[in-house]
Structure formats: C-alpha cells, structure tokens
Chain A
C-alpha cells in the first residue's frame, strides 16, 4: 500500500492571540489527501482556530502549517483561500446576493465567464439537493437547512481540492441535520476531496470522518480512527462516549 500523502501538515503549531492567550499548543498533525479528518473537542479547545490556520485567516505564532507542501506564510492568502473551500460556522451567506450569486462567488472572483458560472451553479444546486428554481431567491427566503446546503455548494463551486468545514450542520433541527450529514457523506466519497471538519457533535464525527482528532486546551489529545476512539481508555474518551448516551446532547 502506498504511503498516504499529507495534504495539510501542522508542524508543531502554536497560536497565541495578540492579548497573549494560547489557543493552539504544539499541534502536530497531518491531514492526508482524500481523507476526512474531524476535529472534535469542547468549546474553546482550539478547533476553529486550527481551521483558520489552514486558510491563513490566522498565521501561526510558532511552527508552520503546510498546505500542499508550502507554508501558509509563503502562500498568497487570497490565492490559497480561492483554492480552499470554506464552510463557515454561521453559514455567512451574503444577504444582498441571490442564491446563485452566493454559490458562484469564488468562480466570479477567479474571473470565470458568466455562462460557465451559471452552468456550474446549476450543477451544484442539483448536487446539494436544492431545486433549480431556487437560484434567483435570496438567502432570507430559505429555510435553515437550505441555507446550509447553499453554504456547502458555495464552498464546492470552484472545485477546490481541500474543504474546510466549521460546524457545517450546526444550528439545524436533528432530523434535517441527520439528512444533510448522510447526503454529505455520500457526496464527499464521490468527489474525493480532502476535508477538515470541525464539529462539537461526536456522532457527526463518527459518521463522516476517516480519522478523528480530539483537541483539549489547544493540544492534540487523541488521533485515530473512529473505532480507535471508541476503544480509547482515557477519561476524556469516557466523556466523549458519555456525550453519545446523553439524550440532551444527541443531535
């Protein structure tokens, strides 16, 4: 079997805020090409910060993050971000633009011809399970689940090899959430993207990820397959498993 190729590499990365708080500590982690790696952990454990270190929204205070073997400090941040799909926590759709314009925003930044953008948007609407006619509507006219689908379609539009997803199915009712997770699971196998997924939902991580990284206070506490996680003897693993049993956190 061939050695897996690392697409994103965290090399002893630390991140400190300007006010001096350390959010990520000595993180050493590879995201392999084509895999889905879930970052889980409690609130404030550094999940979102780690994600923003990949597309250079934040730069490491120590160590380096390599994307395709180039450190993020040497990438042109704009070029890096246009090649990296980003699904943001609060969806962050542009409220003044139509659904179609939202989905096609990165191709339009890249200067694709209008016709090509239109065709690509149509294709994506189908891919994420949205009706064709929805392109002319505005985000406020959509349901929460539809907005999340638009967010995923927008991230996929320019066909980036890497997808960063920050709680992409958060703030959804449990039924819609499970539907979207299942659809996304099928979609990502078909598209063969490298995905870094941040979630606080252990079920989501177990359902979608090839490997799971558990962060605790900004450090990597565990890295392994979902099966490894379930078998792990650490007290934190017991807490993780307990979260699956508590009906109040089930989502």
Chain B
C-alpha cells in the first residue's frame, strides 16, 4: 500500500510537471497559430507528428540524447510534453479563432491594442475551450506516464512492468487501477472547472 502511494505520487509529479510545461509552450504557440495563418500548418503539423510516434519508441529515441536523455524522469517528462502539446495547442488555436468576430472588432474599434485584445477579451472568452485541451493533455499524460517506468522514470508503470514480467495480474492491477482512477479524477475535476469558465465567459 505504501509503495502504491509513493509510486502514485511519482506518477502525479511526472504528469503535473509535463502538463505545466506543455501549457507553457502550447498556449503561446496556439496564440501564434491563431494570429498567423501561415505558421499554423507547420506548427500544428510538427505537434501532430509528435503525437504519432509510438510512446515506447519515443522514450527509446530520447534516451541517448544529450541534456534531455539518460535514465530517469527527464526523458520521460520530455516525451510527455511532446504528447501533451498538440491538444493544448489545438484548443488554444481553435478557441481563439472561435471568438465572436463582432466582439473582437468591437474591442479593436474601441482602441484596444493587440495585447489588450488578447488578454482582456480573447483569452478570457476561450478559457473554457483551452481548458478542454488541457484536460485531454492531462489524461493522455496519465496514461503515457505508465510507460515511463520502462526507462526508469518510476511511477505507477513500475507495477505494471513488474507484473507483466512475473505474469502477476494482481501486481499489474496495482499499477493500472490507480492510474485509471487518477485519469477519471482529473477528467471530472477539469471538466467541472471547464463548465464554470464557460459560464463566466457568458456563453
């Protein structure tokens, strides 16, 4: 039981760090995509390709790289960020482009700078949509993080790999069940927050 808790916390740590970094990168990139049509395709294209690389292969490919490679949580977090980037990026881009053009034009016509328009009008109005991307990213991370145990990053995947090796279903479930519960919990909580933000946006 103690080990489930400590592995669970390890897992949670990987997921939270990776999601935060993905938001920190994906949000500004999404803003760029929404503002510059010409950059949208290449940026989303690259994020899309990241998503298609099988997770175990991605971890293996990252291992030998200098700075981000090596055994332990670092390459695992990099891999999780690469997976979480697309949903955040895409939701930000779609959310911003979905803001009512009449409202955007009113803001511009009243004398808002681009920055004021973004911070005071566009981002608050699509915060719910962006959060839906963050929610998807978090759930993906919780799932993919189980594989990170393969490169010694710890987390709940440790039980799963050990269980598979020993053909011990109980051991597999000790990793799988808490991971699934964590995913459901985050999905529900972020979904709740998302609906609150939508209401605050007056939509």
Residues of A within 8 A of B (CB): 55, 57, 78-84, 86, 88-96, 105-106, 109, 138-140, 154, 164
Contacts and interface: CB of A to CB of B under 8 A. Distances in A.
B109 interface: yes
Given A81-B108, A92-B102, A95-B103, A140 B113 contact: no
Nearest to A105: B110
Sort A-B residue pairs by CB-CB distance and give the 5 closest, nearest first. Answer: A92-B106, A95-B202, A82-B111, A81-B111, A90-B102
6 contacts: A88-B106, A89-B102, A94-B107, A95-B103, A96-B124, A164-B109
Nearest to B116: A109
A227 B152 CA distance: 87
Contacts of B105: 57, 88, 92
B166 interface: no
Contacts of A81: 108-111
B203 A109 contact: no
Contacts of A164: 109
A109 B202 contact: no
A123 B37 CA distance: 43
Contacts of A79: 111
Given A81-B110, A81-B111, A106-B110, 19 more contacts: A57-B105, A79-B111, A80-B111, A82-B111, A84-B111, A88-B102, A88-B105, A89-B102, A90-B102, A92-B106, A93-B103, A93-B106, A94-B121, A95-B201, A95-B202, A96-B124, A109-B111, A109-B116, A139-B202
Contacts, number: 68
A91 B102 contact: yes
B43 interface: no
Interface in B146-184: none
Given A81-B111, A138-B202, A140-B202, A92 B116 contact: no
Contacts of B108: 57, 81
A164 B110 CA distance: 11
B5 interface: no
Interface in B115-130: 116, 120-121, 124-125
A106 B112 CA distance: 8
Contacts of B109: 55, 57, 81, 86, 88, 92, 164
